[in-house]
């Protein structure tokens, strides 16, 4: 099956996942996480991509990001890989690609799904059983969102600012949301959309994206159109 072109909508949040090849580690030591974050920060600034949430797990990365143009996400990820992969390979005496194919991404309907996606990302270490609560994990945007540690990589989205009139209100509101685990249905919906590249949002949102991007943004119906046989249409036909 031909690979669908990735749909990237300027000024719209996107959820991205980049996995290590064969689920192998892409971070082994503190220095690796620091190096990757530095590359990501430089690339995001260079290609005008706003990073709203992130988590670096041992073998994959999640990002919630808004590009300013249709090429920004791809250029950012390519730039990070161009510098981080050689660093990692040289350090650990390996060769070849570090990534499991191209990164996965999906456009997110902001109003209903932005905060849900942000919390999903910050909750990743808890779901993986690495920590008991997201504040114990240092390689995510959670500490920034709850005011414990400002992060120069993170650009706060308007919906985050809408959580409260003061920093304390916003941080408390986010902490409360992030401490509530997503339901299996919510997590499954988000991951399915990202893995398959289909936008996550309402039918109106998807229809607008189809017009804006001039391409299909949802799965085609399987099988051939159902045909009504003459006899089925007129039960008496077989007796005529």
Tens-place pLDDT, residues 119-146: 999 999 999 999 999 999 999 999 999 9
Task: Give the E-state strand segments of the chain in sequence order.
Answer: 14-19, 49-56, 60-67, 104-107
Question: How high is the pLDDT of residue 227?
Answer: 45
Which helix (H) or strand (E) is 142 found in, with range? helix 142-145
Which helix (H) or strand (E) is 124 found in, with range? helix 124-127
CA dist list (Å): 221 to 34, 106, 205, 218, 226: 45, 20, 19, 9, 11
pLDDT at 231 over 70: no
d(C-alpha 81, C-alpha 85), whole Å: 5
In a domain, 1, yes or no: no
In a domain, 5, yes or no: no
The number of helices, as runs of H, and strands, as runs of E, in the chain is 10, 4
pLDDT tens-place string over residues 97-108:
999 988 999 999
d(C-alpha 221, C-alpha 124), whole Å: 33
In a domain, 235, yes or no: no
Identify the CA nearest to 17 among candidates 69, 59, 79, 72: 59
How many residues make up the chain in this entry? 240
DSSP string of 8-20, one letter each residue:
--TTS-EEEEEEB
Question: How high is the pLDDT of residue 203?
Answer: 85
In a domain, 60, yes or no: yes
Identify the CA nearest to 43 among candidates 79, 97, 5, 96: 79
In a domain, 3, yes or no: no
Report which of residues 33 and 239 the model is more confident about: 33
In a domain, 213, yes or no: no
Number of domains in the chain: 1
pLDDT tens-place string over residues 187-209:
888 888 888 888 888 888 888 88
What CATH number is associated with residue 80?
3.30.70.1290
The whole domain housing 48 covers 14-202
pLDDT tens-place string over residues 40-94:
999 999 999 999 999 999 999 999 999 999 999 999 999 999 999 999 999 999 9
In a domain, 19, yes or no: yes
In a domain, 115, yes or no: yes
pLDDT at 229 over 60: no
Burial class (CB in 10 A: 0-12, 13-18, 19+), 183: exposed
Under the banding of pLDDT at 50, 70 and 90, the label for residue 221 is: low
């Amino acid at each position: 099956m031909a690979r669908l072109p990735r749909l990237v909508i300027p000024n719209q949040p996107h959820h991205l996942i980049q996995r290590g090849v064969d689920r192998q580690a892409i971070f082994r030591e503190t220095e690796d996480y620091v190096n990757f974050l530095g590359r990501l920060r430089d690339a995001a600034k260079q290609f005008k991509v706003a990073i709203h949430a992130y988590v670096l797990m041992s073998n994959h990365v999640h990002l919630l990001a808004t590009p300013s143009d249709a090429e920004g996400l791809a250029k950012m990820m390519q730039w990070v890989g161009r510098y981080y992969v050689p660093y990692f390979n040289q350090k650990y005496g390996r060769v070849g690609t570090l990534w499991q194919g191209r990164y996965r991404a999906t456009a997110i309907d902001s109003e209903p799904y932005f905060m849900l996606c942000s919390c999903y990302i910050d909750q990743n270490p808890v779901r993986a059983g690495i920590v008991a609560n997201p504040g114990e994990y240092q390689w995510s945007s959670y500490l920034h969102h709850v005011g414990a540690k400002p992060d120069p990589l993170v650009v706060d989205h308007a919906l985050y600012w809408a959580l409260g009139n003061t920093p304390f209100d916003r941080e408390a509101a986010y902490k409360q949301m992030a401490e509530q685990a997503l339901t299996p249905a919510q997590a499954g919906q988000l991951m399915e959309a990202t893995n398959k590249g289909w936008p996550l949002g309402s039918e109106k949102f998807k229809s607008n994206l189809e017009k804006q991007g001039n391409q299909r943004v949802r799965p085609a119906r399987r099988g051939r159109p159902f045909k009504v046989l003459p006899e089925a249409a007129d039960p008496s036909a077989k007796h005529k």
